[in-house]
Amino acid sequence: MPMPQAGDQAPAFQLPDQDGTPVSLAQFAGRSVVLYFYPKDNTPGCTVEACGFRDEHSALEAAGAVVLGVSADSTASHRKFATRFNLPFPLLADVDHTLSEAYGVWGEKSLYGRKFLGITRATFLIGPDGVLKQVWPKVKVNGHVAEVLAALKGEAPAADGAEKKPAAKKAPAGKKVAAAKKAPAGKTVSAGKTAVAKKAPAKKAVPAAKATRAAKKPAAAKKAPVAKKPAAVKKAPATKKPGAGKKTAPAKKSVATKKASRK
């Protein structure tokens, strides 16, 4: 059977849970029901999904919903699965896959080249009036419970199975977005863009110490060395007057003259 869509009346059902207790859709009239179908107990993906509903069970109940899991496993298998992982909600045993067919999730599957019949993972959100509010036909386990909870709170998109677009990543705080590279000078940029001449590289900053020295007044120009006065010309030795050499010894006075002078 084709899978029912949002706006359709949810197919009625009554199946035993892990304890053998009959569970029907009618008994939850006036409340929202999260009916999720999974392939098999104790398999990796199914375990992650079940534990996700378990971890958010209180929040789901606070939003006014009842959670019901469904697979083609027996009640005994469901009991072991629920006990092992402390699942607080009913697991319905759809052994003859009647309910799975009614919701369009039973069909041919393929695994490692082998084809077989089984349940396709899907979730249905049934409103308090018994009408389907939202359908997830191909469930991805990670983040699925959050999607269901958001839908219950009216935060999910209206389209069936629609995925939220990821929000655009914001640039890290404090970091400026890198400016577009300027085209090299002289080269023409592709159509629609104007070439921008490269700016001359900025001069390197002068270190503080050097800047201080640069600020000092330039050293006074060295004075030209004072020209040395030329050495005085040595006077030529005076020419000796002829005869001026050795003084001539005075002539000895005669004895007579001496006597005369004494007188």
**Helical pair 44-55 and 144-152, crossing angle rounded to 10 deg:** 40
* Residues noted as catalytic: 46
Who contacts 7 (Cβ-Cβ below 8 Å, separation ≥6)?
131, 132
CA atoms within 13 A on the CB side of 191: 0
